[in-house]
Amino acid sequence: MSDDKQPKSLMAQRFRGFLPVVVDVETGGFNARTDALLEIAMVTLRMDDDGYLHPDETLSANIHPFDGANLEQEALDFTGIDPFDPERDAEFEIDVLSEMFQTIRRDIKKYGCNRAVLVGHNAHFDHGFLRAAVDRNDIKRDPFHPFSSFDTASIAAIALGQTVLAKSCKTAGIDFDNNSAHSAEYDTYKTAELFCYIVNRYKDLGGWPLANAPLVEDD
């Protein structure tokens, strides 16, 4: 049997074997363990032959509050979500996550990565609600790293001098409609555009492939 190894994809090389997947949630409060998960969206990313990152597939769903979930009226007023509106076409957490995770695992295999890493704007919040839903539904094959994430709020603060999603996008020249904000699908796609912009801009400035550059020895 040959021991030749398949060359790593540019995606796997760029993020040390991680596959970035952008995630945003809308919720019924701030406590991931007690408050309802109401919307979730994920945007997968692709990398072209020149090493530039682009948004790829958008996955989104409205979700039924889990049994016993807390709903804070202030949070619902902020998002404008009526959890019990029949026209939401809401689905159950386990069905939504199982289907989305299947797509993520497909892309992990496609790019030769080890696992996915969540990208989010203030990623700790989104990651907390995703992890709580995984635990609540006893999902065994979670493709995401259990605690690592890429936070575009932090990255944008360094790259653009902004931390708010709308202001970060506008600074980067990305259109942002405040009237469409606070839906998981819209915010996720804008976060994906922002993440790709920063990664690609860093590449254009010569910042990657820094890890593969030869060491420069002193004269």
Residue 176's CB is within 10 A of a number of other CB atoms, namely: 18
What does each C-alpha distance from 139 to 18, 159, 191 come to in angstroms?
20, 36, 26
- Locate all alpha helices (DSSP H) within 123-181, ordered by sequence: 123-136, 152-160, 165-171
- Annotated active-site residue in 54, 64, 127, 182: 182
Phi and psi, residue 105, nearest 5°? -65, -35
Burial per residue of 182-217, b for 16 or more beta-carbon CB atoms within 10 angstroms, e otherwise:
ebbbbbbbbbbbbbbbbbbeebeeeebeeeeeeeee
Rounded-to-integer distance, Cα 5 and Cα 201, Å: 31
- The bridge status of strand 53-62 relative to strand 37-47 is antiparallel
- Check if 182 is active-site: yes
What does each C-alpha distance from 154 to 121, 122, 164, 187 come to in angstroms?
8, 8, 10, 16
Rounded-to-integer distance, Cα 89 and Cα 61, Å: 9
Catalytic center residues: 182
